Amino acid sequence: MKRWRTVLVGAGVRGSTHLKGVLENKDRYQVAGLCDLDIKKTNILKEKYKLSVPVYEDAETMLRECKPEVLIFVTHPDVRLEMVKLAAKYQVQAVSMEKPMAQSLAEACEIKKICEENHMKAVVCHQQKYLKQMQEMKRRIVAGEIGEIKKIHVETQPWMAQLGTHYVDYALWAAGGQRAKWVIGHAHGRAELGDSHPSPDFLEGEMLLENGVRVYLECGYLSESHHPEEYADIDNRITVYGTRGYVWAETDGYWGAFTSQTQGELLTGKEPGWYHHQEKQIQTPYYTEFADWLDDDKKIHSCNVEISYHGYEILEGMCLSALNHVRVDFPIAKLDYEPVLTRMKKEFPDIGTKPRILYDGKEPREEYD
């Protein structure tokens, strides 16, 4: 079996998780180099996984010297396009990046275009699909337990660029790979526009999928908290309603099912959830699926750049709808407008919301007014 020559940029929290996922597919990948602006972090990873590979502070030097076939970059959202351009320059065959895929739709579009023009396969890390409760939700849907899908409701306490980007993707996935025809949206709140994952504090939108299913999405502090006592940083839920029942799943492991197979009962339960899976690795099947796609063009990865771009376009469409007071139809063809995040910074009134510190599971959560 071919082992793909692979390098990693970004040796932070998620970089370590990605590397573990690659190493747990050792017959599919061969790690050739590690890079971080902070060389101490690469050395820590090298030591942690007992690797004898060169380490770099500069991604371009690594690409030039290591000549990888696969580039994984696990950086913050402001470092995406430059990595994709580098990958194309050094004729990398495939890239794997974290979410959100960009900071504007124009940038996301350029990333997709560079990948297409250079025949580079690309994935964006919406990997929570591999969580057991998500797989089980999907299994019940595919088995027809809820009948024909009618509506999907997405709620994420973390804001658009944190978990909204994940859950719009999971809504499309749950609906069977559908595309949206149009969206409408509302957005407000300036506090998270200054975050490393800039977003309005709250975004709410509705979309119509091509198969007639409606999706309602809420991301940010006004969405319902299902478990306020725990996991404030990942509190979320996707609920899929059909003609014969409904199912839901959450990142933190909770799930529910009221279907044609549950004998009139609402079944609920909890899988180990996100923090457990950080160790037990949902990143491993993610990289198995990536290698399968690299080996066989027909086995397209479920987190491919094309569907990720559409997810980004949907969130952008909701923001545009909120700013311009119009319905937004897809595809969004003209991208030469002022970026929505720039406009929100200028146009949104200060309503006194405060930033929260999320995403490490330890920091206390600041209250909103």
With CB under 6 A, what is the number of residues at the site for ligand NAD? 23
Q: Closer CB to ligand NAD, residue 262 or residue 281?
A: 281
67, two tokens: 């000549």
Residue 222 CB-density burial (10 A; 0-12 exposed, 13-18 middle, 19+ buried):
middle
Q: Binding to ligand NAD by residue 12, rule CB under 6 A?
A: yes
Number of H helices and E strands in the chain, helices first, is 11, 15
Q: Of 4, 6, 8, 15, which one interacts with ligand NAD (CB under 6 A)?
A: 15
Q: Of 13, 143, 266, 357, which one interacts with ligand NAD (CB under 6 A)?
A: 13
Residues in 168-207 that interact with ligand NAD by CB under 6 A: 197
Residue-by-residue DSSP string for 200-220? -SEEEEEEEETTS-EEEEEEE
Cβ 304 to ligand NAD, closest distance in Å? 15
Q: Of 7, 22, 28, 36, which one interacts with ligand NAD (CB under 6 A)?
A: 36
The residue sitting closest to ligand NAD, measured at its beta carbon, is: 12
139, two tokens: 């299994």
Show the binding pattern over residues 244-263: x = contacts ligand NAD (CB under 6 A), - = does not. --------------------
Q: Closer CB to ligand NAD, residue 14 or residue 226?
A: 14
Q: Which range binds ligand NAD by CB under 6 A, 33-41, 144-152, 241-249, 288-296? A: 33-41
Residues in 118-137 that interact with ligand NAD by CB under 6 A: 125, 127
Q: Binding to ligand NAD by residue 74, rule CB under 6 A?
A: yes
Q: Closer CB to ligand NAD, residue 9 or residue 87?
A: 9
Distance CA 246, CA 145 (A): 8
Cβ 14 to ligand NAD, closest distance in Å? 3
Q: Closer CB to ligand NAD, residue 14 or residue 327?
A: 14
Distance CA 171, CA 270 (A): 20
Residue-by-residue DSSP string for 31-52? EEEEE-SSHHHHHHHHHHTT--
Q: Closer CB to ligand NAD, residue 112 or residue 129?
A: 129
DSSP 304: B
Distance CA 327, CA 321 (A): 6
Number of other CB atoms surrounding residue 336 within 10 Å: 5
Q: Which range binds ligand NAD by CB under 6 A, 68-76, 149-157, 301-309, 331-339? A: 68-76
Q: Of 4, 6, 8, 9, which one interacts with ligand NAD (CB under 6 A)?
A: 9
Residues in contact with ligand NAD by CB under 6 A are 9-15, 35-38, 41, 59, 74-77, 79, 98-99, 125, 127, 197
